[in-house]
Amino acid sequence: MAISIHPRYRILAIVTAVAIYALIIAGAVVRVSGSGLGCPDWPTCHGTLAPPFDKGVTSIIEYTHRAVATISGIPIFLTGLFAWLNYRRVKWIIVPATIMLPLLVVEIGLGRFVVLSELQPELVVIHLVTALTILACAVTIAVYASQHSGQATATSSVINPDTGLKGTPAQIRRLIITLAALFVVLTIGAMVVASNTSLACPEWPICNTGLGVIITPPPDLSPAIWFHLAHRYSVALFSLWLGWVVYRTLKEQGNIPAMRAWAIVLGVLFALQVSIGATQVLLQKPAWLRAAHLGVAAGVWAALVVLTLLNVFGARRAKDSTA
């Protein structure tokens, strides 16, 4: 079936994805600056519509986060609205758009409960996980719209019709497993941050008593250290898996510019993420590194979603071209 996405909708979809990413960054700044309770009430701030300057910079930071959330809601709403008006039969647009809009309402409600519960760790984690899901939906719409923007058929490839995008079932399964694993790793990391156990092991890569605590941990380790080590173990295992996935992608599709570029971006971002995580422990969690840690994590998530979609749409393109 011929599919043509209006170029303006492609731009709107990309703006939406960028806006959601910016919102996650703003949330990270609020978290690491200790501004989550800068406005202890919601939706007002200390009982007023504008943050009172005599309440300190934390009120301004938290209020700025709320403003960014409000502004970001506009392109998100428009993306969903035009999806229903113009692309109801395009599942790669209507399905993520339909998921994204209710989740936005849930995210706003979670933000309110996070404030009113005085940053209860479980709600903080759910708040971040919901944001990552919304980001994945927005990226899906943006990639699909980019693939079909101004094109007459559903078999046009991303960025350049001559890139020869392709994808096999094995590659797609591998990337979906990677997405699920990354989601778990990011969730565990968010739980570590929310529970304030980031410095339970103040050294890296060893933990307290040395390397032995990682290889043969003593039975009297505190729950906080075990929790922190679970994060390190999961990151270490995922690093090996992701390295293999990037290698396989470059080996199998390294001659395709889009695939090669996003595989490299994914690998570089994850290496940067691990480096930032280790550095922030060694430097006792400076605020700017903590914000960068979450920001790069969201970038890794987005890059993996893009790479997975390129394989999925490439497989569909190959199937359509032989039909």
Of the three residues 138, 154, 170, the one that is the final residue of a domain is 154
Q: Do residues 16 and 97 both lie within one domain?
A: yes
Q: Do residues 174 and 321 both lie within one domain?
A: yes
Tokens at residue 18, please? 């960028």
Q: Do residues 84 and 105 both lie within one domain?
A: yes
Q: Do residues 103 and 228 both lie within one domain?
A: no
User: Exposure pattern of 277-294 as b/e (b: 16+ CB <10 Å)?
Assistant: beebbeeebeeebbbbbb
pLDDT of residue 316: 54
Tokens at residue 238, please? 């995922």
How many Cβ atoms are within 10 Å of 255's Cβ, its own excluded?
Answer: 10
CB burial of residue 318 (10 Å; 0-12, 13-18, 19+): middle
Chain-centre distance for alpha carbon 130: 10
Angle, alpha carbons 37-185-131 (nearest 5°): 45
Q: Which of 63, 202, 40 is nearest to 114 (CA)?
A: 40
Q: Do residues 245 and 97 both lie within one domain?
A: no
Query: Residue 48 forms beta bridges with which residues?
Result: 45
Q: Do residues 164 and 193 both lie within one domain?
A: yes
Q: What is the DSSP letter of 155?
A: T
Tokens at residue 173, please? 């399964």
**C-alpha to C-alpha distance for 107 and 87, rounded to whole angstroms:** 25
Q: Do residues 85 and 167 both lie within one domain?
A: no
Of the three residues 90, 123, 154, the one that is the final residue of a domain is 154
Number of domains making up the chain: 2
- Residues listed for the chain: 323
Q: Do residues 141 and 177 both lie within one domain?
A: no
Q: What is the DSSP letter of 84?
A: H
Q: Do residues 230 and 180 both lie within one domain?
A: yes
- Listed in sequence order, the DSSP H helices in the chain are 7-32, 57-86, 91-116, 121-148, 169-194, 212-215, 223-253, 257-282, 287-322
Residue 229 φ then ψ, to 5°: -65, -30
- Cα-Cα-Cα-Cα dihedral sign, residues 142, 143, 146, 148: negative
**C-alpha to C-alpha distance for 62 and 35, rounded to whole angstroms:** 6
Q: What's the average pLDDT block by block, 10 residues per block, for the chain (323 residues)?
A: 79 94 84 69 73 73 80 90 92 94 82 60 78 94 84 38 58 92 89 73 66 56 73 89 93 80 94 88 75 89 94 62 41
Of the three residues 154, 186, 221, the one that is the final residue of a domain is 154
Chain-centre distance for alpha carbon 201: 26
Which SS3 state, helix, strand or coil, does residue 22 take? helix
Which SS3 state, helix, strand or coil, does residue 118 take? coil
Q: Do residues 305 and 184 both lie within one domain?
A: yes
Domain that holds residue 102: 1-154
Q: Do residues 18 and 137 both lie within one domain?
A: yes
pTM, entire model: 0.82
Q: What is the DSSP letter of 103?
A: H
**C-alpha to C-alpha distance for 16 and 171, rounded to whole angstroms:** 28
Q: Do residues 141 and 166 both lie within one domain?
A: no
DSSP 267-318: HHHHHHHHHHHHHHHHTT--HHHHHHHHHHHHHHHHHHHHHHHHHHHHHHHH
